[in-house]
A and B are shown apart, each in its own frame.
Chain A
Amino acid sequence: MTARINPKPRNELAANGSAVEHIKDRSNYLRGNLADDFRNPLTGAISEDHVQLVKFHGSYMQDDRDVRLQRQEKKLEPAYSFMIRLRVAGGDLTAEQWVKLDDISNQFGNGTSRITTRQALQFHGIIKFDLKNTIQAMDAALLDSIAGCGDVNRNVMCTPDPTLSNLHAQVFPWAQKISDHLLPRSRAYHEIWLDEAEGKMLVAGGEAEEIEPLYGKHYLPRKFKIAIAIPPFNDMDVYANDIGLIAVEEDGKLAGFNVAVGGGLGFTFGRDDTYPRLASEIGFCTPEELLGVCFHIVAIQRDYGNRQDRKLSRFKYTIDRCGLEWFKQELNTRLGFVLGEVRPFKFITTGDRFGWRSTTDGLWHLGLRLEYGRVLDNETHRLKSALRRIAEQNLSGFRMTGNQNLILTGVREEHIDTLESILQAHGYAADASHLSGLRRNSIACVALNTCPQAMAEAERYLPDLISKLEVSLDKYGLRHDDIKIRMTGCPNGCGRSVLGEIGLIGKSPGRYHLYLGASFNGNRLNTLYRENLDETAILNTLDALFAAYAAQRRDAETFGDFVIRQGYVSNQQAS
C-alpha cells in the first residue's frame, strides 16, 4: 500500500460542473460581491450567486411565504429576509452568550430563536440591511456562523447530556476539535461582515492551497455532517450523518471511536435515483487518529463526489457509486494505516431525557423539552423570557440537543429552586412527564412560512396533529408509551422524518406521505406506507394502527418493530 498522505485539492472547475460549482469557482473564496449586494437599497434580496455564497457564511435567503401573493398584488417584491445559523459544536453555550443571542433575536430577528436538529441555534426574519449588524453582534458574543450552511462540514454534533455517561467529559471536547480542524480558512467572512482588512485576493496555483488546504477553491460537492454518539444513547442519530462516530469505552476510559460513513436522509420526490441511506460502520480509530480520519474522509468526498448533479452529490452516493470496499481501501491508503475492527456497542434510544439529573461533581442538569426548538413567548407560556432570566442570573449553561431540546447544565444545588420558580412563573413546566410519549418523542422541521423547500406545514402543525392523535392514544391506553413521530415539510430530511417510527413528509399543503417502521434506536429507516393523506386519513390510519398495536404487541415491542412484524411494511434495516 502506497501512502498518499495528503492529496491536495485540485482547484479546477469540474467538467460539466453544476451552476453552483461555477458560482464557487468565480467567488474568490466565498467573497463574490457580497458586501456591495448587501448595500443595494432597492431590494431586500440578493443575487442568485450571492444566495449560494451567503450559505457558506451561515445564512439562507428566505421570504415569508404567507404573504407572497399579497405582496405580489401590491406590486411589492416578496418579503425577503435571512435566516442565520450559528456554528456551535456540541450545542454548548454559556449563560452570557445566551443573553447576547436573545438580544439578537429581539433586535434583528423575528423575536424568536430556534434550536435546530443539529444542535445549532438559528434566527429567522433578519432583513438584509441588518445581517451585518447581526453577525457583528454574534462576534461580540464570541460566536460565528461560518460554515453554518453551504458545501462544507457543518456543525459537529455530540451527545450533550453530561449525565449520560462518565465518558462524556472525555468525548465532548472532540466535537469542537473536529469542527476547528475542518473549518474553512478563507477570511471572506471576516472581511465582509467584521470589516477585517482584505487579505490575499484571488491567487494562482500554489498559494490557493494556503487559503483552503482542505477544501480548495470549490469546497465540497455538497454539505457534510458529522456527529458523535455515546452508547447506549443514539440521541445524535449518528447513522444520519456523513460520518457517524460512536464512542467506545474500555476500562472507564475513551478507547476510541467506531466510524460509520455515508449516512444521509434527504431524497427528492420523483427522482428514483435519490434515497435516504444510513451510515455504514467501517472500523475503529483511536482518539489520536480521529482528526486525520475525519480529514481524509472529507477529502475523499471532495475528490470523488458528484459535482454535476447536486441531487446526487452527497457523500452517500459517492460511496454507493464507488463501493464501500473501494472507499475503505482509499481511506486506508490515504491514512497510511488500516482502521481497526468495529468494537461492540449497543444503542437503545434516539430520545432525550427530561427532568433533573446530577453528575458526580455535585452539579445538576435539567433536560427541558422545547416544542420543536422554538424559543419564544406565546399565549400559553413565556419560555423565552424565562430562559433569559435564568441566563441573566447565570444559573446554568445552555446546551442544545439534537432533538431540538435544551439542557440547562451545571446548576448548583442551591439554585435548583430559583431556576424552577423562574420557569414556573413564566408558565413553563420543568419536566415533560405530563406530555404524551408521542409528543415527547416528536420532531418537526421549520417548513412554512420561511423555508423555501417546504411543500406543507410541519412545526406550525404537528402540535395540533398530536393533540388529535392523543385522542386515539387515550382510547387504547398508549398515552405513556414512547412512540417516535417526525414531520417534515419536504423530503430533504432536516427533521429526520425517515427515521421516525411514524414519519410524515409533506407533499402539498395539507397532504403527507406516511412512512412507518423505523427502529426506536435509529438503526433502521422507515418505509412508505400510504401516500397523499389529508388530516382525516392520517388520523384514521393511525387510529387503526394504534388499536392493533395496543391489542397485539409483544411485551416491550416498540411501535416501529410491531408494524414490521405484522407486515404493514417491510423491513428496511441495512444489512
Chain B
Amino acid sequence: MLLSPQQFQQVSGAVRGLSPAQLAWVSGYLSGLTHQFDTPDLLPVTASGTLKTTILYGSQTGNGKKIAEQLLARLQAQGAGAVLVNLKDYRPQQLKQEQRVVLVISTHGNGEPPDDARAFCNFLQAERAPRLDTLEYAVLALGDSSYEEFCQTGLLLDQRLAELGATRLLERVDCDVDFASTATQWQQQVAAKTPATHTGNSIHFNLNPLVKQVIQASEYTAENPFRAELLNSIVLTDTGSDKEVLHLELSLEGSGIAYQPGDILAVAFDNDPALVDEILQLTGLSGNTPVQSNGTTTDLYSALRHQRELTGVTRRQLTSYAHLINHPELQTAAADKNAMQDWLYAADWLDVLREFSGKLSAQQLVDLLRPLQPRQYSIASSPTAHPDEVHLLVKRVEYTFQTRQHCGAASNWLARLQAGETASVHLKPNPHFKLPTDPQSKIIMIGAGTGVAPFRSFLFEREAQGIRGNSWLFFGEQHFRTDFLYQAEWQQLLGNGTLERMSVAFSRDQAEKIYVQQRLREEGASVWQWLQEGAHVYVCGDMNRMAKDVQQALVDIVATHSGRTAQEAVEWLEQLLAERRYQRDVY
C-alpha cells in the first residue's frame, strides 16, 4: 500500500469506533476526495523523498549485525530514512509493504542460514511467497570460503528476490572471513544510492485501499462471512505437553474488517465427517433422506455435516429426546439437574444415540439438534502491529469418554485447516473488554491458558503505539517447559518495556498445584497499590474454574489491604465493574 504505517494508523484511528452509518458517510466523503484527485495531472508524485530503507540482518556471530549497524549509522548520517531489524524479529509478510530492503546475511556450516534467519528464508523459498514487484533490494553475503557452499544463503536469497520480481539495487557482494574492506565498500555503494529524506507527504489516492475497506466493513456477518485465508498455523505447545494449543494467523486482506484489541472473531466450521458417518450408521438413517433444516430443504448428511451441532448435548435436548423415544428412565434422569451433569459435559450425540437407543426419523433427529453456531475466539493480534491479519489462540479439544476419542468440533476443524485454505469469519465487537482510553492508565491482565489471547493483542497494540510500562500480566498454564504460550514474545515485550511486570504460575511443575490466583495473592500489596493508582483489571479465561477463584482472590486482596470487610470489598469491586475498570471475558 502507498500509505506509510503511520499514515495508515492515523486514518484507521480516525474511523475507529464509528457506527455503520457514520462509516458509510465517511466512505462517501473519501470517495469524493478520490474523484478530486482522479486525473493523472493532479496525482501527487511519490518521490524518493519518502524513501525508507529497511536494513535486515541475520548473523550467528555478530559480524553481520555490526556491518548492518554501521550501514544504518552511515545512512542516518546523510539524513536518509532507515531502520534496522534483526531477521528474527522481522515479519516477512511485511516485505510486500517495503520500498527498499538491504540484507546482510551470513551462511553457516554447509550452506545453512543463521538460526535467526530461518523463518525468513523459509517464507521466501515457499511456493506461496508473495510477488515483490515494487521492492528494491541489495544483498551483502557473509561466509567462509573454506566451506563448500560459500555464501549460499545470500546467493539463494538474492536469486529468489529477483524471481519474485524485486529489483536489484546493487549486484550481490560476497564477503569472506576478512570482510572488513569489502563490507565498507558495499556500505558506501548503498549509501551512494540512497537519497536523503524530505518531509513530503504524498498519497496515491486512486490506490488507497481504505476506500474499499470502509464500504465493506459492516457487511460481514454469520450469514455473510468473510473467507479468511489461513496464512500460518503453529502448535505452540512443545513435545511432551498434555495439551495442544494452536496459534493461527488468518488474512483479513481486502475485507475491511477493522477490529480493536479485545474484540472477538467468530469462525464457522463443519462437523467431522467421521462422526456424521457413525451417527448415520448407528441410527440406520440414510444420508440422502430429505429434511427441513434452517428453513430450507436439504439432505440429512448435509444437515448433520454443515448445519447442526453434534458435539454438545444439553439437558433440555436430552429431555426432549427421552420423550420422543419414550424412555422413562432417561426422562427421570434428565429431569434431575445433578444426575447427569458430568455425563452431559463430556457426551456428544453419538453417545446419546448409542446409550439410549430408540426409533427416530431423520427429521426428528434434525429438529432435536441445535443449529451449528460459529465459535468465538478472543483475537490475539493487534490491528496496528499485525495489519491485515487476525491471530487466534485455540486449544484443540480432545478427550476420551466412554472409551471413545471425542474431538472438539471447531478446534479440530481449525487444526485440520491448511495454509492457503479459508475459514468463514466475522467480527464480534467486544466493547466491554477494551484498553483504557488514557494510554497512561495502568493495566493488570489476568489470563490462564488461551485466556491470554486478548492480552497479546493489548500489549502488541501498546507496543505499536509506543506506550511503555504500566502493564502487568498474570499468566498460568500447566508446564513451564512445554506450555509457556508466546514465551519469547512476552520476553521481547518485557525487554523493550512494553510489559512492566509478569507473574507466572505453572500448575504442574511442582507437587502442589499453583494457579494464577495464588500469584495474585502473593503480590497482593502491589496489586492493591496498582488499583489505588487507577489500574484497570482484565480477566480472561475459563469461567467456572479460573474466573471465580480470581474474583475471590481480588476480594481478599481488597479486604486485606484496604481494611474493608469482605462484603465491602465485593461492593468495591462491583463499583470497579460499573466504572469499566474491571472487565471480564470469561467463557
Q: Is B118 an interface residue (CB 8 A)?
A: yes
Contact A509 B109 (CB under 8 A): yes
**Chain B interface, DSSP helix/strand/loop, else mixed:** mixed
Contacts of A41 in B (CB 8 A): 480, 503-504
Tell me if B69 counts as interface (CB < 8 A to partner A): no
- A510 close to B110 (CB less than 8 A): yes
Q: Which of B119, B144, B238, B489 has the most CB of A within 10 A?
A: B238
Interface pair B110/A42, CB less than 8 Å apart: no
Alpha-carbon gap, A166 to B528, bound state (A)? 74
The residues of A that contact B108 with a CB separation of less than 8 Å are: 508
Complex-state Cα separation, A2 to B489, whole angstroms: 63
Minimum CB–CB distance from B298 to chain A (whole Å) comes to 41
Q: Which of A42, A79, A507, A508 contacts B504 (CB 8 A)?
A: A42
- Bound-state CA distance A270–B63 (Å) is 15
Would A455 and B109 count as touching, CB distance under 8 A?
A: yes
| CB within 8 Å for A75 and B488 given contacts A270-B177, A508-B110 | yes
Bound: A270/B118 CA distance, A: 25
Q: Please, what's the 1-or-0 string for B235-263, where 1 marks a CB less than 8 Å from any CB in chain A? A: 11111000000010000000000000000
CB within 8 Å of B: which of A244-292? Answer: 270
* B37 on interface, CB distance cutoff 8 Å: no
Interface residues of B in 481-525 (CB under 8 A from A): 481, 484-491, 494, 502-504, 509
Binding-face segment, A64-72, A148-156, A473-481, A492-500: A64-72
Complex contact B491–A76 (CB within 8 A): no
Interface size for chain B: under 10, 10 to 19, 20 to 34, or 35 or more residues? 20 to 34
State whether A67 and B490 are in contact (beta carbons under 8 Å apart), knowing that A42-B502, A508-B109 are contacts in the complex. Answer: no
Instruction: Tell me the smallest distance from the CB of A389 to a CB of chain B, in Å.
Output: 28
With the chains together, A510 CA to B504 CA distance in Å?
A: 41
Would you call A67 and B239 a contact (CB within 8 A)? Answer: yes
Q: What is the count of residue pairs linking A and B with beta-carbon distances less than 8 angstroms?
A: 73
Interface: A554 (CB within 8 A):
no
Is A210 an interface residue when CB atoms closer than 8 A count as contact?
Answer: no
| A75 close to B486 (CB less than 8 A) | yes
- Measured between alpha carbons, how far is A69 from B119 in the docked complex, in Å? 9
Query: Inside 8 A of B235's CB, which chain A residues have their CB?
Result: 74
Q: Is B401 an interface residue (CB 8 A)?
A: no
By beta carbon, the residue of chain A nearest B235 is A74
Contact with B along A115-138 (1 / 0, CB 8 A): 000000000000101000000000
Contact B494 A42 (CB under 8 A): yes
Does A73 interact with chain B (Cβ within 8 Å)?
A: yes
Q: Does A207 contact B (CB under 8 A)?
A: no
Let me know if B399 is at the binding interface, CB within 8 A.
no
Known pairs A67-B238, A70-B238, A72-B115; A508 contacts B147 (CB<8 A)? yes
Q: How far is the CA of A44 from the CA of B488 in the complex (A)?
A: 11
Q: Is A511 an interface residue (CB 8 A)?
A: yes
Q: When each residue 124-157 of chain B gets 1 if its CB lies under 8 Å from chain A and 0 otherwise, what string results?
A: 0000000000000000000010111000000000
User: In the complex, what residues of B have CB within 8 A of residue A75's CB?
Assistant: 234, 236, 247, 485-489
Most buried by B among A67, A73, A79: A73
A531 surroundings in chain B (CB, below 8 A): 146
| Least distance between A491 CB and chain B CB atoms (Å) | 13
* Complex Cα–Cα for A77 and B110 (A): 25
Which residue of chain A lies nearest to B118 when distances are taken between CB atoms in the complex? A69
Chain B 107-126, CB within 8 Å of chain A: the 1/0 string?
Answer: 01110000100110000000
Contact B237 A74 (CB under 8 A): yes
A532 in contact with B147 (CB, 8 Å): yes
With a cutoff of 8 Å between Cβ atoms, the chain B residues found around residue A507 in the complex are: 147
Across the interface, which residues of B come within 8 angstroms of A72, CB to CB? Answer: 88, 115, 118-119, 488
Q: Are A79 and B481 in contact (CB under 8 A)?
A: yes
Q: Could you tell me the distance between the alpha carbons of A509 and B177 in the complex, rounded to whole angstroms?
A: 20
A76 touches B487 (CB 8 A): yes
B109 partner residues in chain A, CB cutoff 8 A: 455, 508-509, 511
B6: shortest Cβ distance to chain A, in Å? Answer: 27
Judge if A43 is at the interface, Cβ distance under 8 Å: yes
Across the interface, B487 reaches (CB within 8 A) one of A70, A77, A532, namely: A77
Give the residue name and chain of the B residue nearest to A456 (CB).
B109
CA distance A75 to B480 in the complex (A): 13
Residue in B closest to A68 when the chains form the complex, CB atoms: B115
**CA of A507 to CA of B144 in the docked complex: distance in angstroms?**
12
Chain B residue, CB-CB nearest to A509: B109
Q: How far is the CA of A74 from the CA of B148 in the complex (A)?
A: 32
Write the chain A residue with the least CB distance to B494. Answer: A42
Specify which of A77, A127, A129, A509 is in contact with B488 (CB 8 Å cutoff). A77
Contact B236 A43 (CB under 8 A): no
Contacts of B147 in A (CB 8 A): 507-508, 532
CB distance from B509 to the nearest CB of A (A): 8
Which residue of B has the minimal Cβ distance to A269? B146
Chain B residues whose C-beta falls within 8 Å of the C-beta of A74 in the assembled complex: 234-238
Complex contacts, B484 vs chain A, CB 8 Å:
76
Output the least CB separation between B231 and chain A (Å). Answer: 14
Nearest CB of A to B385, in Å? 14
Which of A76, A77, A509 counts the most B-chain CB atoms under 10 A from its CB? A76
**Cα distance, A74 to B393, chains bound together (Å):** 12
A77-B487, A509-B109 given; A532·B234 CB < 8 A = no
Q: Which of A69, A75, A127, A270 has the most CB of B within 10 A?
A: A75
- Contact of A511 with B488 in the complex, beta carbons under 8 Å: no
CB A484 to nearest CB in B, in angstroms, measures: 27
CB distance from B518 to the nearest CB of A (A): 13
Closest to A65 in B: B115
Complex Cα distance, B484 from A170, in Å, reads: 56
* Residues 292-326 of A at the B interface (beta carbon under 8 Å): none
* Residues 186 to 240 of chain B near chain A (Cβ within 8 Å): 234-239
Asked whether, in the complex, the Cβ of A77 is within 8 Å of the Cβ of B491, the reply is: yes
Report the Cα distance A531→B247, complex, angstroms.
45
Q: List 15 A-B contacts (CB under 8 A).
A: A41-B480, A41-B504, A44-B481, A67-B238, A72-B115, A72-B488, A73-B119, A74-B234, A75-B486, A75-B487, A77-B487, A77-B491, A127-B480, A510-B110, A532-B147
- What 4 A-B pairs are tightest by C-beta distance, nearest first? A508-B109, A75-B488, A76-B487, A41-B504
| Beyond known contacts A74-B235, A75-B485: 11 more, CB 8 A cutoff | A41-B504, A69-B115, A69-B118, A70-B239, A72-B118, A73-B234, A75-B488, A76-B236, A76-B488, A77-B491, A511-B110
Could you tell me which A residues sit within 8 Å of B by CB distance? 41-44, 67-77, 79, 127, 129, 270, 455, 507-511, 531-532
